[in-house]
């Protein structure tokens, strides 16, 4: 099998290598490392999240499609409405521990996971994944409380949760993130009031997918990402009203500056990166209340704001009809968006080893085209220890996605899951379970000219796996 990594350049190799190599640099043979090995496998009856309808009509921005299909559309040969099933296996090794580098001056730790995802039938989807982070901060010997300086390097594939169909491996991609945090933490303003104040700088690089084949003509979903850096000020003021009740105010504001756009399967992103630069902000009031040792409440509510630094230009959305003709629709993105955000959750530990969590959240984001997407989530989860070694987890959630630019259908998705985790020993555990996902779309407010493929689908997934750990080995 030929080895190939899509959309990567030399700098990307160096960034990923830096994360891995840093974790294993050691000047002290007594350092400890925790090593775990794992294997997970699942059967999914709809791995490409299709719905029995025909392949989607090609869609591009600011393109007349007169020359035929857009770049990448021919690669969707498996995306034909057929609900393909497959058995997928994820093999991985994980390392975690503390770095023995200048321990008197620096506190540093790492957590790294390298894996391979293997498809039984669609072998052209095989890939390897890297996840993990290296976090370094100045120790209290050098920088005493309340000051804090921290540096974090991370690489993420988002491929590890095999229990969730909406996070299927066919849709995952790698990102590299480096961030720095500087500020003060938990400073007493009064006897019952404290302050946090941070400056956070970060840079994200989109890495694409780490395929094990050179045959990328079979990519079945649109892969799109951006490189950007952001700079934010974050603050929090907390006040202890009573022993059981805490209130606070959270605020954040800053800029997000884009440096590169990585085109998706349709090659539809054409605007300059400076057209995407934006200012973001959020202000929230928070409350935490502990009624008893078994019952607690967390809540927050506020407003979020996002404004493009440059007024976005009107754009056309072009679709290719079945008869070969082209339909175009004018899209006028907004330059700024404001939305209500909230988080509500209740925890009830009705007995030791058992927990019920119920809640709801709402937030919004501004996509690359200036459109505003509202996301609302309702969830309920139960964790129950059936025995000292056997744990049952039940989960359900309903997610609503609303596109206020009215260029995509509003969707709602229900997900239900059940899993069992059995600890055979302190270093070996088994897990198995089932996940169900059902997504519906409401395209009643969408123009007839925008014949996007329906985002509706149903998926059933059965999974099983094991993890074996080895703790306290010398590095």
Write down the pLDDT at residue 324. Answer: 62
Lookup: tokens for 14: 């160096």
Write down the pLDDT at residue 288. Answer: 97
pTM of the predicted protein model: 0.81
Give the sheet arrangement for strand 315-320, strand by strand: 59-61, 315-320, 326-331
pLDDT band at 160 (very low <50, low <70, confident <90, very high): low
pLDDT digits (tens, 9 = 90+) for 241-263: 999 999 999 999 999 999 988 76
CA dihedral 445, 271, 362, 383 (to 10 degrees): 110
- For 298, other C-beta atoms within 10 Å of its C-beta total 17
Pairwise CA distance, residues 244 & 262, whole Å: 49
Determine the average pLDDT of the residues in 3-11: 40
Domain boundaries, the chain: 10-474
Q: Which of 225, 221, 264 minimizes the C-alpha distance to 46?
A: 221
Lookup: tokens for 272: 């300059």
pLDDT digits (tens, 9 = 90+) for 407-452: 677 889 999 999 999 998 888 999 999 999 999 988 766 655 555 5
Task: For residue 70, give the DSSP letter.
Answer: P
Task: For residue 79, give the DSSP letter.
Answer: -
Identify whether the C-beta of residue 84 lies closer than 8 Å to the C-beta of residue 119.
Answer: no
Across the chain, what does the average pLDDT equal? 80
- Specify the residue for token string 């409401």: 442
Lookup: tokens for 449: 């000219």
What is the SS3 assignment for 170? helix
CATH of domain 10-474: 2.40.160
Pairwise CA distance, residues 282 & 305, whole Å: 6
Pairwise CA distance, residues 124 & 299, whole Å: 45
Identify whether the C-beta of residue 379 lies closer than 8 Å to the C-beta of residue 358.
Answer: yes
Q: Please report, for residues 153, 177, 178, 210, 302, the alpha-carbon distance to residue 19 in angstroms, rounded to integers and kept in the order given.
A: 7, 10, 10, 16, 37
Beta bridge partners of 177: 154, 204
Q: Which of 88, 112, 91 minimizes the C-alpha distance to 39?
A: 91
């Amino acid at each position: 099998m030929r080895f190939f990594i899509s959309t990567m350049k030399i700098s990307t190799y160096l960034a990923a290598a830096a994360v891995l190599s840093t974790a294993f640099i050691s000047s002290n043979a007594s350092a400890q490392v925790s090593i775990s090995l794992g294997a997970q496998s699942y059967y999914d009856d709809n791995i490409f999240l299709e719905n029995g309808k025909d392949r989607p009509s090609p869609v591009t921005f600011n393109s007349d499609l007169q020359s035929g299909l857009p770049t990448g559309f021919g690669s969707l040969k498996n995306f034909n409405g057929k609900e393909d099933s497959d058995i997928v296996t994820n093999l991985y090794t994980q390392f975690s521990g503390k770095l023995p580098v200048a321990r008197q001056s620096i506190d540093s730790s790492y957590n790294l996971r390298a894996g391979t995802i293997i498809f039984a039938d669609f072998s052209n989807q095989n890939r390897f994944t890297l996840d993990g982070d290296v976090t370094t901060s100045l120790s209290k010997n050098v920088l005493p409380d309340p000051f804090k300086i921290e540096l974090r390097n991370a690489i993420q594939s988002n491929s590890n949760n095999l229990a969730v169909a909406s996070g299927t491996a066919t849709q995952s991609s790698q990102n590299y993130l480096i961030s720095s945090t500087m500020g003060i933490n938990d400073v007493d303003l009064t006897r019952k009031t404290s302050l946090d104040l941070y400056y956070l700088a970060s840079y994200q690089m989109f890495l694409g997918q780490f395929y094990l084949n050179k045959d990328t003509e079979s990519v079945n979903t649109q892969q799109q990402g951006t490189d950007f850096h952001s700079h934010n000020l974050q603050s929090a003021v907390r006040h202890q009203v009573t022993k059981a009740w805490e209130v606070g105010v959270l605020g954040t504001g800053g800029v997000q500056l884009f440096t590169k756009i990585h085109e998706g399967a349709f090659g539809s992103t054409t605007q300059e990166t400076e057209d995407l630069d934006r200012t973001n902000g959020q202000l929230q009031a928070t409350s935490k209340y502990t009624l008893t040792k078994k019952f607690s409440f967390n809540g927050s509510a506020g407003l979020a704001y996002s404004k493009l630094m440059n007024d976005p230009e009107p754009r056309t959305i072009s679709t290719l009809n079945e008869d070969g003709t082209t339909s175009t629709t004018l899209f006028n993105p907004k330059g700024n968006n404001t939305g209500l955000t909230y988080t509500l959750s209740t925890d009830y530990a009705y007995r030791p080893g058992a927990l019920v969590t119920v809640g709801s959240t709402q937030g919004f984001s501004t996509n690359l085209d200036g459109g505003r997407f509202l996301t609302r989530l309702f969830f309920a989860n139960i964790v129950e220890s059936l025995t000292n070694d056997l744990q049952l987890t039940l989960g359900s959630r309903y997610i609503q996605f609303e596109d206020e630019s009215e260029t995509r259908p509003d969707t709602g998705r229900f997900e239900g899951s059940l899993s069992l985790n059995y600890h055979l020993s302190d270093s070996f555990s088994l897990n198995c379970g089932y996940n169900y996902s059902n997504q519906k779309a409401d395209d009643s407010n969408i123009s007839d000219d925008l014949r996007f493929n329906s985002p509706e689908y149903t998926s059933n997934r059965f999974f099983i796996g094991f993890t074996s750990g080895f703790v306290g080995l010398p590095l």
